[in-house]
Amino acid sequence: MTTIKVSTTINGDPVDYLCEPQETLLDALRDRLGLTGAKEGCGTGDCGACSVILDGRLVCACLVMGAEAEGRAVETIEGLADGEELHPLQQKFIDHAALQCGVCTPGFLVAAKSLLDRNPDPTETEVRYWLAGNLCRCTGYDKIVRAVMDTAADMREAR
């Protein structure tokens, strides 16, 4: 096996890591870099718990090879808050009780941020379809969808 050296940017910081060719970006984040916020719920792209943003695009880190991150920019849940200042979505998820066990929460937050970056005024249907790749087994989605809609409304008002 040939170990690959990868130079990338994670949450704005330059990062180098070594990985095996068959390792995924999720493996690299969790096992090489200790960034365990992204979770592995399925390993097949069906649950969205490992959602990260790669060069501005929402992806499942389990379906990206670690080597592919060379020269790219990766955003993870660990970079969502600005220091002690939570992203509005993070605060709304707490306010709306939009999490129960919380294991899907990082993926939902990253996916929802990606939505609001593109569409500041989504309909309920748009929110539900955008987030359809993020499975939540606890909440029935109701409070998650409300938290995202409410965040969008607040952020529009703040503009």
- Write out the binding residues for another protein, residues 64-123 only, by CB under 8 A: 64-65, 67-68, 70, 76-78, 80-81, 86, 90-91, 93-97, 99-106, 109, 111, 114-115
Kindly state the smallest distance separating residue 54's Cβ from another protein, in Å: 8
Residue keyed to tokens 């992204």: 38
Kindly state whether residue 41 participates in binding another protein, applying the rule CB under 8 A. Answer: yes
Using CB under 8 A, pick the residue from 9, 15, 20, 154 that binds another protein. Answer: 20
Q: Work out whether 151 is an interface residue with another protein (CB under 8 A).
A: no
Q: How far is the CB of 153 from another protein (least distance, A)?
A: 16
- Residue 28 found at the interface with another protein (CB under 8 A): no
Task: Measure the CA angle with vertex 105, ends 139 and 71; round to 5°.
Answer: 150
The answer to whether the beta carbons of residues 31 and 50 sit under 8 Å apart is no
What single DSSP character describes residue 28? I
Q: How far is the CB of 83 from another protein (least distance, A)?
A: 11
Strands (E), the chain: 4-10, 13-19, 51-54, 57-60, 73-75
Does the CA dihedral 78-80-81-82 come out positive or negative? positive
# residues near another protein by CB under 8 A: 84
* Smallest separation (angstroms) from another protein to the CB of 142: 5
Between CA 64 and CA 46, with CA 145 as vertex, the angle to 5 degrees is 30
Distance between CA 75 and CA 150 in Å, rounded?
Answer: 23
Q: Among residues 39, 74, 116, 122, which is the contact residue for another protein, using CB under 8 A? A: 39
Is there binding between residue 150 and another protein (CB under 8 A)? no
